[in-house]
Amino acid sequence: MEALKRIAAEAAVAEIADGMLVGLGTGSTAAFAIAALGRRVEEGLKVTAVSTSLQTAQAAEKAGIRVLDFADVAATDLCIDGVDEIDPHLRAIKGGGGAMLREKVVATASSRMIAIADGSKSVSQLGTRPVPIEYLPFARAFVARRVQELGGNAAARLTEAGSVFLTDQGNPILDCSFGPIVDPDALALSLSTIPGVLGHGLFVDQIHTLYLATAAGLKRCDWRF
C-alpha cells in the first residue's frame, strides 16, 4: 500500500512546474508528495508552497520547501492531497486526519486539485466511512441533531488516549455516518448550511484529477467540466 501511495504521489508531483505556488495536503499519501517535491526542489525546481496543516508545514520545511503563510495567499496554482474515499465522479470524503477545513480552503483556492490515492480508497458510492464535521463547540448538540435529521449518526472524535480530538484550529470533530450517500452534492450543501458547522469532509466539486495507483498500474482520471 505504501508503494502505491508513493507512485500516485510522484505522478502528481511530476506535474509541478517552475514558479508554481503549490498547496500541500495532509496525511500519509500527501507525505510522499512532500518528499518527492523536496527532491525536485533539491534538483533545482523553484516553487513555493502553502500547507493544509501544521504537520505538513513542518514536513515541507524539513524537506527544503519554502512554505508561505496561507493567510497572505489568495490563490494557488495546484493543490495535491490524499483522500479517504473517492467515487468515479471524483467526489471524495476527506478529514481522516482532521485537516479537511484547511484542505478545502486551499483546494478551492487552487486553479487545479490533484487527488492521490492507492486502490483501497476507490469506492463506487461514498459513505463507507463517516463524514467528519468540524464545529463550533457552542453548537455541539444542535449540530448533532441536524446531522441526525439528515439521516446521519454523529460520534465525537477522540484521540487514541481517549480525550477529545482537536483540529489545528482547536475545534472538535463529529464523525458522521450516513451509510451509502445517494446524493453527495445535496448532502454537502445541507451540511455547509448548518449554523455552527465550520467545515466538513465532503469534497464534491474541488477535485480535477485523480492519480489512482493499484496493483494493476497507475490510472489517471480527469473530471470533465
Ligand X SMILES: O=C[C@H](O)[C@H](O)[C@H](O)COP(=O)(O)O
Position 6 contacts ligand X (CB under 6 A) = no
Question: 184 CB contacts (<8 Å, ≥6 apart)?
Answer: 87, 91, 126, 202, 204
Choices 34-42, 94-102, 135-143, 211-219; region in contact with ligand X by CB under 6 A: 94-102
* Interacting residue with ligand X among 23, 38, 82, 130 (CB under 6 A): 82
Catalytic residue, chosen from 2, 15, 42, 103, is: 103
96 belongs to an annotated ligand binding site:
yes
- Whether 203 and 209 have beta carbons less than 8 Å apart is answered as no
* Interacting residue with ligand X among 28, 128, 177, 214 (CB under 6 A): 28
Give the C-alpha separation, 212 to 215, whole Å. 10
Give the C-alpha separation, 56 to 37, whole Å. 13
Residue type, 72: D
User: Is 103 a catalytic site residue?
Assistant: yes
Position 56 contacts ligand X (CB under 6 A) = no
Position 171 contacts ligand X (CB under 6 A) = no
The Cβ of residue 45 has, within 10 Å, a number of other Cβ atoms equal to: 17
Position 87 contacts ligand X (CB under 6 A) = no
Position 208 contacts ligand X (CB under 6 A) = no
Write phi, then psi, for 213 (nearest 5 degrees): -105, 125
Convert residues 109-148 into a mask of x (bound to ligand X by CB under 6 A) and - (unbound).
Answer: ----------------------------------------
The Cβ of residue 172 has, within 10 Å, a number of other Cβ atoms equal to: 18
Binding interface with ligand X (CB under 6 A): 25-30, 81-84, 94-100, 103
